[in-house]
Structure 1
Amino acid sequence: MSLGSKIAWDDTVLPFQLDRSAVRGRVARLDGVLDQVLAQHNYPPEIEALVAEAALLTALIGQAIKLRWKLSMQIRGDGPARLIATDYYAPGEDGAPALIRAYASFDADRLVQGAEPFGQIGQGYFALLIDQGRDMVPYQGITPLAGGSLSACAETYFAQSEQLPTRFALTFGRTRVPGQAEHWRAGGVMLQLMPEASTPSVTEGGSGDDGLLQADDILEGAEAEDWTRANTLLDTVEDMELIGPSVQPTELLVRLFHEEQPRVFDAQPVQFGCTCSEDRVRQSLSIYSAKDIGHMTTDEGIVTADCQFCGAHYELDPATLGFESEKDPDADA
């Protein structure tokens, strides 16, 4: 296999369907995107791992939803890792890349070096917010943190909030390709029972942590058999098959699911990107009074703002900020 054929699948999400059953899925590969996301901050290894897993989940989930604008994922906890936040922006036109950004907020003094990353979050919640754009009411779903990983939390979220059986197999880490510098790579597969499949409505407690629903709680009959069969096949996947780059996603699907008749669709390219701007900063500050803006003003007479996603730094004239602003920000221009 040539190097070019390997690189062609970097930073892509490949949708597929198993024609023998009512199961759809995604195969994701992230490398450059993950390098750029993690390069924005000097994270300790435990936080790097959480951000990498969250970014990979976001790529898989965002591409699986008929999204017109933005999907946001937030994991908040009472442990040293206080917040992991990601955004997935749908492509504006056919063939354009989707954009991903992510960051984490953590308490370095409380972080336990060498400890299992997920345990650094503590007790908290997993949330997805879908924003379909102007004049549309955003949708938000929240479930408690459950399981031993962010992917397990996402599986619980879809079972509990959407009653939609979902499975993730993920791997990520620093790798070195001969002749290249060490860099981050991540790969994963998402399986999901197709929404049009009929699943029973479950209102009672499930078999998961604290009575949360799991996939097995919302399946029965032939659908349960199809789901079990697809998951049993996914259980055989190896980390190097997921992460690549020597195994292409199409080859991986044949290896895993050839008896299930996999059918692939057009791959979606993804790249690191941020939508922050001075106008957005001004808009976020427009709810504050002149007194509030005064408290934000530095000794140098400016208001500063930094984007945690991309590191952009903004310096603004306080007289142009807030709903009591005295000066048009475009006046000097």
Structure 2
Amino acid sequence: MTSMTQIAWDDTVLPFQLDRSDIRGRIARLDGVLEKILTQHSYPPLVEALVAEAALLTALIGQTIKLRWKLSLQVRGDGPVRIIATDYYAPAEEGAPARIRAWASFDADALADGADPFSQIGTGYFAVLIDQGEGTVPYQGLTPIAGTSLSDCAETYFSQSEQLPTRFALSFGRSQRPGEVERWRAGGVMLQHMPKASPFVASEGGSGEGGLLRADDLLDGDEGDNWSRANLLLDTVEAMELVGPQVAPTDLLVRLFHEEGPRVFDAQSVMFGCSCSEDKVRQSLSIYSAKDIGHMTTDDGIVTADCQFCGAHYEFEPATLGFEATQVAGEGE
């Protein structure tokens, strides 16, 4: 395989369908996107792993939704890792890339050295938020933190909140090709069974942690057999096959599911992208009084703000901020 073929699949999401099983799916590869996300901050390795997993889940989930603007994942816990937040912005126009950003808040002093990253989240919730833009009401669905990984949390969310059997197989980490510097790479597969769940499932409760629904609770008969067979095939995937770049997503799809009648659709490219701007920061500060703005003003006589996602730094003249602003932005700055 040529390096050009390898590069062509970096930072892409490939949609597919298994016609025999009535299952849809996605294969994602993140290379430059993940490197850009993680180099914005000096995260400890434990936090890096959680942000990498969340970003990969976001790429896979975001591409499955008919999205006009933004999908967000939020993980909040009472452990040392307090918040993991990601955004997936739909392509602005046909053929344009989708954009992804991610960020985490944590207590560095409370992190346990050598601990499993997921254990540092503690008790909390996993949320999916969908905002289709101006004139629409944002959707939010959430489920408790469950299982042993963020992938488990996402699977629980789809079973419990959407009653869609869903499975993820992910791999991520730092790797190095001959002659190149070490960098982050990630890859994953998402499977999702589309038929409606039994109308009695919700009232009966599930077999998962704390009575939460699992994929197995939603399917029976031929549908259950098809789902089990596809999952057994996915169980054979190897970490390096997921991450690549030696194995193209199309080759991996054939290797795993050739008997299921795989059919691919147009791949979606993704890139790192942040929506922050000076105007948006000004707007967020417009609710504050002159007194409030005064408390935010530094000894140097300016108000500063930093984007948590991309690290962009903004500086403002206090008189131009808040609902009691006495000066128009751009005058005297």
Please say whether Structure 1 and Structure 2 have the same fold, judged by a TM-score greater than 0.5: yes
CA distance in 2, matches of 1:232, 1:55: 25
Q: Is the 8 A contact 2:118 2:150 kept in 1?
A: yes
Aligned to 1:302: 302
State the 1:332 CA deviation.
4.5
| 1:27-38 → structure 2 map (5 Å cutoff) | 27-38=27-38
Amino acid across the alignment from 2:53: E
CA distance in 2, matches of 1:130, 1:63: 12
1:198 and 2:192 aligned: no
CA distance in 2, matches of 1:303, 1:330: 15
CA distance in 2, matches of 1:287, 1:199: 45
Aligned to 2:181: 181
| 1:199-278 → structure 2 map (5 Å cutoff) | 199-201=197-199, 202-204=201-203, 205-278=205-278
Amino acid across the alignment from 2:17: Q
| 1:58-77 → structure 2 map (5 Å cutoff) | 58-77=58-77
Give the secondary-structure state (helix, strand or coil) at the position aligned to 1:64: coil
CA distance in 1, matches of 2:129, 2:287: 22
User: TM-score, normalised on structure 1?
Assistant: 0.97
1:40 and 2:40 aligned: yes
Deviation by residue 1:98-121 (Cα, 9 ceiling, x = unmatched): 101111111011001111000011
Deviation by residue 1:262-318 (Cα, 9 ceiling, x = unmatched): 000000000111110000001111122222212111122211100011110001111
Aligned to 2:57: 57
1:95 and 2:95 aligned: yes
Amino acid across the alignment from 2:264: V
Unpaired runs of 5+ residues, structure 2, are none
CA distance in 1, matches of 2:227, 2:23: 7
Give the CA RMSD over aligned residues.
Answer: 1.0
CA distance in 2, matches of 1:167, 1:110: 32
Amino acid across the alignment from 1:105: S
Aligned to 1:78: 78
Aligned to 1:324: 324
Amino acid across the alignment from 1:11: D
Deviation by residue 1:110-167 (Cα, 9 ceiling, x = unmatched): 0011110000111111011101001110000111000000000000001111111110
Unpaired runs of 5+ residues, structure 1, are none
Moved more, 174-183 or 251-260: 174-183
CA distance in 2, matches of 1:332, 1:166: 56
Deviation by residue 1:194-219 (Cα, 9 ceiling, x = unmatched): 2xx23213223211111111111111
User: TM-score, normalised on structure 2?
Assistant: 0.97
State the 1:243 CA deviation.
0.7
CA distance in 2, matches of 1:206, 1:293: 50
CA distance in 2, matches of 1:160, 1:26: 21
| 1:100-139 → structure 2 map (5 Å cutoff) | 100-139=100-139
Moved more, 62-71 or 296-305: 296-305
Q: Is the 8 A contact 2:59 2:100 kept in 1?
A: yes
